[in-house]
Amino acid sequence: MMPEEMAGDAKQQCIFCHIAAGRVASRKVYEDDKVVAVLDINPGNPGHVLLVPKEHFVIMPQIPEDILQHMGMVAKGISHAQLRALKAQGTNIFVANGVVAGQRAQHFMMHVIPRMDKDDVGLVLPARAMRPEDEQQAHKLLKKALSKALGLKVPDEQESHKDEQVPHEQKNEKAVKEAAKERKTAEKEPLEEQEPAKKEIGTKAPSKKAGANLDDIAKLLTGGR
């Protein structure tokens, strides 16, 4: 079976493709030409929304940048709507990208969950101590790979070494001060008024160009199903 035929077969079996096409009943809260947002049938909290692209993609690297950007803008709007309409005290916006990350469906999606104090949703990340050498290695590898992925100048070894020489305690202290400053700024800024739900978000023309040769990666991340 050719890759195109396999992709078509996966789309025919995908429940979220059927939801996006209107062939399966759902509680839609938003829809445009690129995405559809529906209430999760097994929500973490009432108002838990699943935001999915109408085109079939399994993992994030397969999604064209314009669609991913559009999804981020729509997710922001959903979050604002949850804060205002449901009187939520906060929201979680996350992606489970791959089986080990908790992905269950074979269709990429963003979760937007309204949160309340002591709601027992359980999305608390562990705070683990890391050895300095492990932190330095992760920093070096990620910085180089991310620069390549974004088409930026790849940092040389001397620049990376300078970053690694900053004392760990000094970096933590600086990060804490910056976070406190950002919180104070956010508390002073009022929430923007939400636009009507049916209004088209973003005007950038959609791109048909998807990530190349990513089918094998998708299979690997989703257990080959």
Domain ranges of the chain: 3-120+195-221, 133-186
- pLDDT on residue 118: 94
- What is the C-alpha separation between 12 and 21, in angstroms, rounded? 11
Q: Where is average pLDDT lowest: 86-95, 96-105, 180-189, 201-210? A: 201-210
Q: Is the pLDDT of residue 162 over 80?
A: no
Bigger pLDDT: 146 or 172?
146
Exposed (0-12), middle (13-18) or buried (19+): which is 113, by Cβ within 10 Å? buried
Neighbours of 176 (CB within 10 A): 10
Q: Residues 21-41: pLDDT tens digits? A: 999 999 999 999 999 999 999
- pLDDT on residue 135: 94
Q: Is the pLDDT of residue 182 over 80?
A: no
Phi, psi dihedrals of residue 209, rounded to the nearest 5°: -85, 115
Structure tokens at 202: 């973003």
pLDDT band at 197 (very low <50, low <70, confident <90, very high): very low
- pLDDT on residue 196: 45
Mean pLDDT confidence for 80-87: 98
- SS3 (DSSP) at 215: helix
Is domain 3-120+195-221 annotated with CATH 3.40.50.10540?
no
- pTM score, two decimals? 0.67
